[in-house]
């Protein structure tokens, strides 16, 4: 039997195991070992220790647990909760003002935490009951929170960008700089959509009541902005500025962010032994999950390539007419479809390394930084696409009893369409991605 048949069998077996509910890390490694032993009696895995050693000694990847700690600490300290309340009152006069505040807080959370699960759970617990109580349409409220919490996927410092920088051998600083404008563009598109709803369907997104706004004076609101919103912003600027400006490596900047989050929590008076313990436990659990999938994917990739899986992918790409840009679109469509079933971490470490060599071989004068941002923006939709969109599942797990799965799915659909529009804009206008890195000399 040709080896390509075994490679195709690997893909089928992997999806079958994932759909049965097996943890993805075990499914990836198990399929890789099984087919590697069937095809080569296991001798191929003599190369595995060196590949795993290369992963765990990668200095750039050390930034992942540090950024995770930074994000979890800010989330556990409830700084995000205060930000939502303050920004909500700043936008309170407008119909849809609280929804706009949720998006703005999502931008700040994305820039300060980068952990989608923590952002979704935090925003859901804080904002969803409040939005529903104030008369917001339930699907709109659900979709807004899911979309806002997912902004951490594209707004730096983002774990997705760190992983793609490692996979595609791109400077982390250039990728962070390139993602800044697209991330803010996506947030602006969300805001435009909500303003459109406020104009045409104001009853579905009512403004905060006058009495509630009057209870918070302007002086108190200004003080709250200075003490609640400004400090996390300064921390974000310090971390991103040091990376993009070339002052510090990503790992060094991540350590600054971790220490800064610890100091912010201390100054706010919320640092305690239980908070520190829970932060460390959660950070270790998230980091271990990421690195376990990363190592397991080495097993899968080694077996897949040994079984001539690259030729299988090459044959698939050869059927695509239209040249290199059509090949790129085809790859983005495949990643979008994979997002219905897989998480970003699995797509990044399993699918992206398989597709990229053929995109490179196809030629073209485009920048790989631009390709990386297109992939990152595309991966963001995987959090909002049913049935396995993790933002949807996180929200359902902590939503009030009256909120149904149907409400969450209906609310997410418009934001998925907006994300697709954002990918199309970045594809049509590469300058949106490349302007800032070129301007600062990356």
**pTM (two decimals):** 0.78
pLDDT digits (tens, 9 = 90+) for 45-97: 777 787 788 777 777 677 778 877 877 787 677 666 677 777 777 766 677 77
Mean pLDDT taken over the chain: 79
Predicted pLDDT of residue 187 = 92
Query: CA distances (Å), 400 to each of 80, 176, 265, in order?
Result: 20, 36, 28
Predicted pLDDT of residue 210 = 65
Provide the strand spans (E) within 40-163.
none
- Residue 420 in this model has a pLDDT that exceeds 90: yes
Quickly list H helices, 20-78.
24-40, 48-56, 63-76
Which range, 2-11, 176-185, 331-340, is most confident?
A: 176-185
What is the C-alpha end-to-end distance of the chain, expressed in Å? 49
Structure tokens at 197: 């709803």
> Tokens 């239209």 sit at which residue?
322
b/e map 40-59, b = 16+ CB within 10 Å: beeebbeebeeeeeeeeeee
Instruction: Calculate mean pLDDT across residues 249-274.
Output: 82
pLDDT digits (tens, 9 = 90+) for 376-417: 998 888 888 876 677 787 777 777 778 888 888 888 899 999
Identify whether the C-beta of residue 136 lies closer than 8 Å to the C-beta of residue 98. yes
Q: How far apart are CA 131 and CA 270, in angstroms?
A: 26
> Tokens 């191929």 sit at which residue?
44
């Amino acid at each position: 039997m040709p080896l390509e048949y075994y490679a195709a069998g690997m893909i089928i077996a992997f999806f079958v195991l994932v759909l049965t509910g097996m943890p993805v890390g075990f499914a990836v490694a198990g399929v890789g070992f099984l087919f590697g032993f069937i095809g080569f009696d296991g001798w191929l895995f003599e190369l595995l220790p060196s590949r795993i050693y290369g992963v765990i000694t990668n200095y750039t990847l050390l930034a992942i647990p540090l950024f995770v700690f930074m994000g979890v600490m800010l989330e556990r300290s409830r700084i995000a909760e205060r930000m939502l309340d303050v920004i909500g009152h700043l936008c309170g006069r407008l119909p849809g003002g609280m929804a706009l505040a949720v998006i703005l807080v999502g931008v700040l959370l994305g820039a300060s935490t980068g952990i989608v699960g923590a952002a979704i759970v935090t925003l859901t617990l804080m904002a969803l009951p409040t939005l529903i109580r104030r008369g917001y349409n339930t699907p709109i409220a659900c979709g807004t929170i899911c979309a806002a919490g997912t902004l951490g996927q594209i707004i730096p410092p983002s774990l997705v960008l760190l992983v793609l920088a490692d996979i595609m051998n791109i400077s982390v600083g250039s990728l962070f700089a390139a993602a800044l404008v697209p991330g803010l563009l996506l947030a602006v598109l969300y805001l435009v959509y909500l303003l459109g709803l406020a104009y045409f369907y104001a009853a579905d997104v009512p403004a905060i009541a006058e009495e509630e706004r009057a209870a918070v004076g302007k002086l108190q609101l200004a003080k709250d902005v200075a003490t609640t919103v400004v400090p996390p912003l300064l921390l974000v600027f310090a971390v991103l500025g040091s990376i993009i400006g070339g002052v510090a490596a990503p790992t060094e900047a991540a350590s600054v962010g971790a220490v800064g989050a610890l100091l912010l929590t201390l100054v706010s008076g919320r640092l305690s032994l239980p908070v520190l313990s829970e932060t460390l436990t959660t950070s270790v659990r998230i980091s271990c999950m990421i690195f376990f999938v990363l190592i397991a994917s080495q097993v899968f990739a080694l077996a897949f390539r040994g079984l001539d899986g690259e030729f299988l992918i090459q044959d698939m790409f050869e059927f695509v007419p239209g040249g290199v840009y059509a090949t790129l679109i085809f790859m983005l469509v495949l990643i979008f479809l994979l997002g219905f079933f897989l998480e970003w971490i699995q797509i990044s470490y399993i699918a992206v390394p398989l597709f990229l060599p053929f995109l490179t071989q196809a030629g073209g004068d485009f920048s790989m930084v631009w390709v990386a941002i297109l992939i990152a923006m595309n991966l963001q939709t995987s959090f909002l696409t049913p049935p396995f969109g993790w933002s949807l599942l996180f929200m359902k797990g902590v939503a009030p009893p009256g909120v149904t799965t149907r409400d969450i799915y209906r609310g997410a659909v418009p934001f998925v369409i907006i994300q697709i529009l954002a990918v199309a804009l970045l594809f049509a206008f590469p300058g949106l991605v490349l302007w800032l890195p070129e301007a600062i000399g990356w």
